[in-house]
Structure 1
Amino acid sequence: MRAINIKPSRPLAVFLTVLPFVLVFIAYAIGSDIRLTANPSDKLLPAPSTIWDTAVRLTTEGDRRSGRILFWHDTWASLKRLALGIGISASLGLVIGLMIGLLPLARSFLAQFVAVLSMIPPLALLPILFIVFGLGELSKVVLIVIGTLPFIIRDLSQRTIEVPQELLVKAQTLGASSWVITLRVALPQVMPRLIQAVRLSLGPAWLFLIAAEAIAADLGLGYRIFLVRRYLAMDVILTYVIWITILAFLMDWTLRAMSRKLFPWAEEGL
């Protein structure tokens, strides 16, 4: 039997899914043990038990000055910025993507412009954003929008162009206006793709958020990571990195579950 035709059973699939995480944990534990045996004061690879203790302390103990549990305040600050940036990108991307995909005039006017914008490294614009919008929340949100919007527009416009022409012709034959065609024909076809585009944008969005918080912020997950790096507090850094990974996974899982619930027909081929 060819390898491409071998499908794992459910238990085997679960085992193969968990295995890489277990192997990474074992490799880290071994590396940490080797370094700590050679140098008990080594800070580069803290023991897993140390990371766990740090995580418990960060999530339960308040700050000595303010009394606030900074871990949760950092999380809330970062999630607000991320949600706002992704929300704006998704909304604008949907509207502009439909326009480019459905309207030839809009396609001629915007398609190449968006393509050129997508080639600009968003992080290169960060100093400009800080100068124009200041060091507050706005510049961080704008960076996320600039970094994710061109991709979402191009993805949705391409999906709109791929809508079968037969559907558009039939709708026009029945007397549907451009607005009705957009809402009743194109939009249902594009919505599943919007969720997938947002899922794919989460990784870059986190990158832009962490970069902006590292440079100019007084609260946030990225700010905290770069604040404690000067003390080589790897246990704190790793705790925050693991937490960011968990948050990103939960957001991706939620979006996929939403897509399966709302658009089961679009998930059949996945």
Structure 2
Amino acid sequence: MKIAGRTFVVSGGASGLGRACVRDICAAGGNAMILDMNDELGTALATELGPSTAQFLPCDVSDTASIASAVAATVAWTAQTGKPLGGIIPAAGVGHPGLILDKQLRPVPLESVDFVLSINLRGTLDLVRQLLPHLAATEPEGADGERGVVVMVASAAAFEGQMGQVAYAASKGAVASMTLPMARDLSRFGIRVVTVAPSMFESNMTAHMSDKVRTGLKKAMEFPPRAGQPEEFSSLVRHALENVMLNGVVIRLDGATRMPSKL
């Protein structure tokens, strides 16, 4: 998929990994629709990149109506710019750790589980499914007849979830698991599906970690012994967008890190 001349929708695009993806897409000649709950950061990023290249829309991915409104606005923008939809990067996500049973024998609140699943899993799936009819309706490009790419975000926790990550690991494991069947469903339309599973990267989610937790995580890292940078994540996402042979695969981006059960 050629990024130039196409429009890409990035949820969670106002900060962290999503913001890096937005900047990479625009630098490659594409347009980016930034979906996020943070009005200040989203507006600032869109202003920085310019209205002809990036637009910001407030969007709550746990709310189907909010997604529908964002999809309609995106379709209208692509018609205005003449840059058809080229891909979807649902990067919005939350951590919200909690033991399934704490020391006082209290089970994790179901509201906490629902919060994580509604954003990380349901929000990912809902955004993708609502945009897909429009992506499948675009003109195919190249000898392969490619129409677009979905790049989802899982996590190393999908494979080695730590204590307190039952809901988070479940949400990211589900994203990883639906990659291949989604790719199979969409192959007839010339739409690819790739998932990136990062370990600890510098982002809003990891910014609140204590020094103790960061030190413990670094001990689990092989090389490089540090958190990943957002630009290293977006570089892989860009390659996934551009390389037509990447399809139905989950790519770990973790520097050989394998998380221990606890820190």
Class of the TM-score when normalised by the shorter of the 2 chains: under 0.3
More helix by percentage: 1
- Greater share of strand residues, 1 or 2? 2
Higher CA-based Rg? 1
